[in-house]
Amino acid sequence: MGELTATHFLLLSAALFITGMMGVLTRRNVLVIFMSVELMVNAVNVSFVGFAWEQNSMIGQTFALFVIGIAAAEAVLGLGIVMALSRRADTVDVAEVTELRD
Amino acid sequence: MTPEVLVFDILAVIAIIAGIGVVVSRNPVHSAVALVVTFVNLAGIFVMLRAEFLAAVQIIVYTGAILVLVLFVIMLVDMDDLPEFHGGAPLQRLSAIVIGLILLGEVAAAVVTRTVVGQPGPWNEETIAAAGGNVQVLGQFLYSGYVLPIQAVAIVLLVGTIGALVMARPDEITTRTRGRTTGTISLGHSRGADLVALPSGAPTARVIHREDMRDGLVMVTSADAYTEQAAWAGTDVPSEPGAAEYPTGAGIGSEENR
**Each residue's pLDDT tens digit, B104-145:** 999 999 999 988 777 888 888 888 888 888 899 999 989 998
Q: Which residue has the higher pLDDT, B67 or B233?
A: B67
Give the residue from A7, A40, A48, A49 with the most B CB atoms within 10 Å of its CB, the best one to mutate.
A49
Residue A2's Cβ-count burial label (10 Å; 0-12, 13-18, 19+) is exposed
The per-residue DSSP string of A46-63 comes to: HHHHHHHHHTT-SHHHHH
| Exposure on the CB side of residue A34, measured as CA atoms within 13 A | 28
d(CA B136, CA B121): 17
CATH class of B3-121: mainly alpha
Of the candidates B197, B196, B174, the one whose C-alpha atom is nearest the C-alpha of residue B185 is B174
Name the residue ranges covered by the structural domains of chain B.
Answer: 3-121, 122-168, 171-258
- The CATH T-level fold of domain A6-88 is Helix Hairpins (1.10.287)
* Residue contact B61–A72, C-beta within 8 A: yes
- The model's pTM is 0.73
Higher pLDDT, A12 or B175: A12
Question: Is the model's pLDDT at B29 over the cut of 70?
Answer: yes
Task: Of A36, A68, A12, give the one whose Cα is nearest residue B49.
Answer: A12
Instruction: Tell me which of A27-31, B33-37, B157-161 is least confident.
Output: A27-31
Instruction: With a cut of 50, say whether residue B212 has pLDDT above it.
Output: no
pLDDT at B128: 87
User: What is the rounded CA–CA span in Å between residue A36 and residue A26?
Assistant: 10
**Length of chain B measured in residues:** 258
Instruction: Choose among B246, B249, B228, B247: nearest CA to B237.
Output: B228
Task: Work out the minimum CA distance from B200 to partner chain A, whole angstroms.
Answer: 33
Q: Which of B6, B14, B31, B33 to mutate to test the interface with A (most CBs of A within 10 A)?
A: B31
Please state, rounded to an integer, the average pLDDT across all residues of chain B.
Answer: 74
Distance CA A20, CA B23 (A): 7
CB contact (8 A) between residue A56 and residue B124: yes
Please tell me whether the interface predicted TM-score (ipTM) of this complex is above 0.85.
yes
- CB proximity list for B256: less than 8 A, separation 6 or greater: none
CA distance B132 to A22: 42
The per-residue b/e assignment along B119-134, b for 16 or more CB within 10 angstroms, e otherwise, is eeeebeeeebeeeeeb
Question: Given a cut of 70, is residue B199 above it in pLDDT?
Answer: no
Give the separation between CA A15 and CA A17, rounded to whole angstroms.
5
Residue B86: pLDDT above 70? no
Q: Tell me: the pLDDT tens digits for A7-52?
A: 999 999 999 999 999 998 888 888 999 999 999 999 999 999 999 9
What distance in Å separates the CA atoms of residue B239 and residue B229, rounded to the nearest whole number?
A: 9
Nearest to B141 among A4, A14, A62 (CB): A62
